[in-house]
Amino acid sequence: MRVGFTYDLRDDYLAEGHGAEETAEFDRPDTIDGIASALAELGHEVVRIGHCRNLVGRLAAGERWDLVFNIAEGMHGFGRESQVPALLDVYRIPYTFSGPMVLALTLHKALTKRVVRDAGLATPDFIQVRREDDLARVNLSFPLFAKPVAEGTGKGISPDSRVTDPAALRAVCLGLLARHDQPVLVETFMPGREFTVGVVGNGPGARALAVMEVEFTDRAGIDIYGYGIKQDYEGRVEYRLVDDAPARRAAATALAAYRVLGCRDAARVDLRCDAAGEPNFLEVNALAGLNPVHSDLPIMCRLKGIGFRELVGMILDSALTRLGREDI
């Protein structure tokens, strides 16, 4: 099968003058090489396309593929993760992972939480702060947690994100509004255990691959899984698979959220427990990071004995099954 491969290589954007944090979500060469090698080892011809602008040019030139393995996250706007899938839909070229509607929804954490909450799943109470005047409407009990409404890789999350009084909340929100040019999600802080759950498959056939707990070491200094720790996680956090009662409830919540949101093929769902020990949905990464060594989904698979090529194969097989093309 001829598989196109769409992605955002971080080096390309750095060369254009974009900053380190601005490009934090984009992929390193070892991620691109790892996925391409896995697809080739599975017997497919891999055509490296790159970012959305490259895709536009190659589609306009008449190039086509049997399927596209898409991990491109885009640069601008709330719909940036939807750009590649929307283009592929126009040309009726199938692809892995979720479609444009789901990717636009799940990038926006507040909208995602509304859907999850309406489905009866636990998620922290929240409010959006779009401008300074909105701070007067925050009627949630402290401590609270503030982060950009549509960023990944822990961008905008720091030790200051957990706030305990109105003055701190004001300072953090105004700083985030200025720096990220998007609303701030303010939600009730969950003080308990932190889980991330890998999910593969579609609809009723979707299943939780594993539940991984994120534990902070003494070197971490804080118990907030933000940008700084994600960029330098070795020695600061420990990852372990868990299968106790709270972990199983986390898996059930993650799987329910995955289904109600309409995610496809694979994703990673983040949860944190409240004071009573009940897992609460925080967010879903419908385009989960796939660095073979450093990304959470491959890490939990490795701990479970699932190799990287096997993970890529599971994602591809899920897409082919969904498309009714298992024979390819």
pLDDT at 234: 63
Lowest mean pLDDT among 14-18, 51-55, 196-200, 297-301: 14-18
Which residues have a Cβ under 8 Å from the Cβ of 61 and sit 6 or more positions away? Answer: none
Asked whether 246 and 277 are in contact (CB, 8 A), the reply is yes
Asked whether 193 and 246 are in contact (CB, 8 A), the reply is yes
Strand 237-241, strand 207-216: pairing: antiparallel
pLDDT at 325: 75
25-48 confidence digits (pLDDT tens): 899 999 999 999 999 999 999 999
Which residues have a Cβ under 8 Å from the Cβ of 203 and sit 6 or more positions away? Answer: 259
Lowest mean pLDDT among 19-33, 126-140, 303-317: 19-33
43-93 confidence digits (pLDDT tens): 999 999 999 999 999 999 999 999 999 999 999 899 999 999 999 999 999
- Indicate if the alpha-carbon torsion angle 294, 298, 299, 303 is positive or negative: negative
Distance CA 285, CA 254 (A): 11
pLDDT band for position 151 (50/70/90)?
very high
Q: Work out the mean pLDDT of the chain and round it to a whole number.
A: 93
Question: What's the average model confidence in pLDDT over 117-126?
Answer: 98
Asked whether 226 and 161 are in contact (CB, 8 A), the reply is yes
105 compared with 25, residue with greater pLDDT: 105
Kindly report the number of other CB atoms within 10 A of residue 179's CB atom. Answer: 12
160 compared with 326, residue with greater pLDDT: 160
Asked whether 173 and 198 are in contact (CB, 8 A), the reply is no
226-257 confidence digits (pLDDT tens): 555 555 556 678 999 999 999 999 999 999 99
| E-assigned strand segments in 189-301 | 194-201, 207-216, 237-241, 265-273, 279-285
Packed helices 100-107 and 245-261: angle between N→C axes, nearest 10 degrees = 130
Asked whether 173 and 186 are in contact (CB, 8 A), the reply is yes
List the domains of the chain with CATH numbers.
2-97 (3.40.50.20), 125-188 (3.30.1490.20), 191-322 (3.30.470.20)
pLDDT band for position 20 (50/70/90)?
confident
Asked whether 78 and 104 are in contact (CB, 8 A), the reply is yes
H or E stretch at 77: none
Asked whether 314 and 322 are in contact (CB, 8 A), the reply is no
Distance CA 254, CA 280 (A): 9
Q: Would you list the DSSP string of 97-147?
A: S--HHHHHHHHSHHHHHHHHHHTT-----EEEE-SGGGGGG--PPSSEEEE
Question: What's the average model confidence in pLDDT over 117-140?
Answer: 97
CA neighbor of 8 nearest in space, from 82, 71, 79, 65 = 71
pTM of the model: 0.93
